[in-house]
Amino acid sequence: MLMNTADGIFRAGQVVTCAPGGQQRKGRMMSEVGAISDGALAVRGGRIAAVGPADELLKEWEGPLEEFPDSCIVPGLIDCHTHPIFAGSRVEEFAMRANGASYEQIHAAGGGINSTVKATRQADTAYLKELTKRNLCSALAHGTTSLEAKSGYGLNFDEELRELRILKELGAELPLDLAVTFLGAHAVPPEYAGHPELYLPMLVEKLLPVIKVDGLAEWVDIFCEKGVFELDMACKYLDAALAWGFKLRVHAEEFAHLGSAVDLAKMGAYSVDHLMALADDDIPELLRTSAVCTLMPTTSFFLGSDRYAPGRHMIDAGLCVALGTDFNAGSTMSFSMAMAMSLAVLHMRFSPAEALIAATVNSAHALDMADRVGSLEIGKQADFLLLDVSDYREWPYRFGMNLVRSVYKLGRRVNFADL
């Protein structure tokens, strides 16, 4: 019998495919992870060439074989909401919050987003790039192989372009698929304090054309929130972004309910994110859209809040739910998608299977990348993780630990010493 030849064959006590990944996983479909006991996958040309029970696969495929009988192989994780490029530290703010300081007190003491904007603007470009690279490598070490990366700590013409160029460079240099998002509408900068109606037109008239022509970002985002960018402003801004051909994703219903998740999903946003203030009446309306609902329990946890997005209700209603870390300077200093999965199970009543699907297949759909990542299926990128557990359910169960033994990108084990 003629055998197929693979560049590598990987056998493990459990292989979790998360297949099928071609469509959004909703409701009960989020419980189907495709776990194979004594499974294997064959890699050729950086792609999955075969996957299935090891005894069957090995009858048809030959090549270098690596065996991990007490371990688990899962798809590389997809983090579809991060803010990785900034300088400075807000550890003093962190300590103040631990001592009971309010947001207003922190702001009066010079904390908040403007302190990060100031530090980022002052940072040398080489230093800022190195800081960002360090952040992205941390994500990779925790099992994230595809990641959305937002600008948003420059908040002026030159600084936002600088951030986007750094992200584009790192996307080409690191073994990560980077989806770059322009978030110039992250906050109103000091120069426009109290005048968001003047700041947003500057972004539309000056920045969006340059970003599009230079190919610096595929996505545009806005922080739609009471007292920052109200819903009517967000709609006009995103209309302009659509006219330039950008894909949309939005911060919605994080602290105050504005109706933004529904209205912006109806505009065509691929992902509506946060949703802690989502109303019950919003769910039937969201079901009429194709938007992914991206939740970040890490933010609620880090801020010491008992308010989490209604993830259980959303899954039961049939929405497509994804997970992200929301890594950023002020409210989530963690790139651990595994921790996000643990918190989804502990505080939003996901099952371990639902948490994994939310962190892989559905997150890939939130980034319009599901045709190539998010599941271990023939033809997709060979992006996978080797875990120091024998059952994938142990991963969120053993919270706060990095159980990723090895990261494989396009079928090759990532050597972090070379990064």
The per-residue pLDDT for range 373-386, each reduced to its tens digit, is: 999 999 999 999 99
Largest CA distance in the chain: 75
Place of tokens 């890939």: 364
**38: which 2 tokens?**
């004594």
For the cut 90, the answer to whether the pLDDT of residue 133 exceeds it is yes
Structure tokens given for 186: 């992250």
Alpha-helical (H) ranges within 123-222 are: 125-141, 157-173, 196-202, 208-214
CA distance 9 to 242: 44
For residues 114 and 67, state if they share a domain: no
**Confidence grade of residue 103 (pLDDT, cut at 50, 70, 90):** low
Distance between CA atoms of 314 and 280, rounded to whole angstroms? 9
- Whether 322 and 377 share a structural domain: no
- Backbone dihedral angles phi then psi of residue 11, each to the nearest 5 degrees: -115, 135
User: Could you tell me if 282 and 323 lie in one domain?
Assistant: yes
Q: Which residues contact 345 (CB under 8 A, 6 or more apart)?
A: 351, 352, 355, 396, 397
pLDDT of residue 132: 98
Model-wide pTM > 0.85: yes
Q: Which of 207, 252, 261 is nearest to 229 (CA)?
A: 252
Segment 306-311 mean pLDDT: 97
One domain, residues 123 and 14: no
What's the confidence (pLDDT) of residue 104? 56
Confidence band, pLDDT 50/70/90 cuts, at residue 222: very high
The mean pLDDT value for 318-340 works out to 97
pLDDT of res. 173: 98
49 and 96 together in one domain: no
| 342: three-class secondary structure by DSSP | helix
The count of residues in the chain is 419
Residue 353 in contact with residue 31, Cβ under 8 Å? yes
Alpha-carbon gap, residue 272 to 171, rounded angstroms: 24
Task: Tell me the average pLDDT of the chain.
Answer: 96
Output the domain CATH number for residue 170: 3.20.20.140
CA distance linking residue 208 with residue 183, whole number of Å: 11
- CATH code at position 398: 2.30.40.10
Taking residues 106-123, report their average pLDDT.
88
Query: Which residue carries 């209603």 as its tokens?
Result: 317
Mean pLDDT of 156-184: 98
Tokens of 138: 């941390």
Q: Same domain for 177 and 225? A: yes
39 and 167, same domain (yes or no): no
d(C-alpha 38, C-alpha 41), whole Å:
11
Gap between the terminal Cα atoms of the chain? 42
**What pLDDT does residue 1 have?**
65
Supply 119's token pair.
């530090």
Residues 276 and 256 reside in one and the same domain: yes
On whether both 214 and 297 belong to a single domain, the answer is yes
Q: Which of 61-75, 103-117, 168-182, 187-201 has the lowest mean pLDDT?
A: 103-117
Count the alpha carbons within 13 Å of 15 in the hemisphere toward its beta carbon. 24
Contact 140, 175 (CB under 8 A): yes
Are residues 393 and 320 part of one domain? no
Count how many domains the chain has: 2
Domain boundary among 350, 366, 382: 366
**pLDDT exceeds cutoff 80 at 110:** no
**Selection from 180, 197, 179, 199 nearest residue 189 by Cα:** 199
Residues 170 and 302 in one domain: yes
Q: Which domain holds residue 250?
A: 78-366
**DSSP code string of 382-415:** --EEEESSSSTTHHHHSTT---EEEEEETTEE--
- Phi/psi-derived region of residue 379, left when phi > 0, alpha when psi is between -120 and 50, beta in every other case: left
Residues 9 and 119 in one domain: no
Residue 407 pLDDT greater than 90, yes or no: yes
Identify the band that residue 107 occupies on the pLDDT scale cut at 50, 70 and 90.
low
**pLDDT band with cut points at 50, 70 and 90 for residue 101:** confident
Q: Tens of pLDDT along 253-302? A: 999 999 999 999 999 999 999 999 999 999 999 999 999 999 999 999 99
Average pLDDT for 93-98:
87
